[in-house]
Amino acid sequence: MRYFRKIVGERLYLSPFSADDSEICTQWARWMNDRTVADHFGGHHQLVSLAGAKKPLEELKGYRFAMVLLDGDTLIGQISLHDIDHVHRNAFLGIVIGEEKHRGKGYGAEAIRLILDYGFHTLNLHSVMLSVPADNPAGIACYKKVGFREAGRRREWVFKNGKYVDKIYMDMLAREFGEVGPSP
């Protein structure tokens, strides 16, 4: 696949993609079959085939981007603004960094800042929300670093690894992003 540098940051860029892209589908299937990745989606019990990987990518309504490193054009994940409500000007954010070697290096925070800047300043969104399992401290720390705040929680909402885990909802308003800014 040829990537397009739609939204460019310091170390990575966001490239629009289609569910017809075989590399994205192959990587998505691989990532969703990795227990560490799938656990954060509450889906470690699911088997994801190549054909099965295409379906959620096709059904996602919104703005989907491949996360690609500037150095080497390496695909490391995907990020999206989806379930957009243009009347109320809100959306949900989703992000996956597929390879363990790329986690914990600040790529997620950079990609989130880039897509929030796009969402608030180009799409004119007012609010962006996400959900995260309470047992994902790295994800929660990343979201807080970028400026998300806890907005609510569903107690014992996800069952995984023999126990129930809370699902935390976090959000950010456009004016709060202005306080944090688009860069670290």
CB 42 within 8 A of CB 158: yes
* Domain containing residue 78: CATH number: 3.40.630.30
Amino acid at 134: A
Residue 146 lies in a domain: yes
Residue 76 lies in a domain: yes
CB 171 within 8 A of CB 151: yes
Residue 172 lies in a domain: yes
CA 154 to chain centre: 20
Instruction: Give Cβ neighbours of residue 145 (< 8 Å, ≥ 6 apart).
Output: 109
Residue 109 lies in a domain: yes
Residue 162 lies in a domain: yes
Tell me the CA distances in angstroms from 156 to 7, 14, 133, one per residue in order: 37, 34, 10
Poorest-pLDDT segment among 59-68, 107-116, 134-143, 161-170: 59-68
Residue 161 dihedral angles phi and psi, to the nearest 5°: 55, 40
Residue 2 lies in a domain: no
pTM: 0.86
Residue 158 sits in which domain range? 7-180
Residue 1 lies in a domain: no
pLDDT of the residue at 115: 98
Q: What are the tens digits of pLDDT across the range 4-51?
A: 899 999 999 999 987 677 777 777 777 777 767 666 665 555 666 666
Residue 130 lies in a domain: yes
Catalytic residue among 63, 107, 143, 169: 143
Q: Is 169 a catalytic residue?
A: no
How many domains is the chain partitioned into structurally?
1
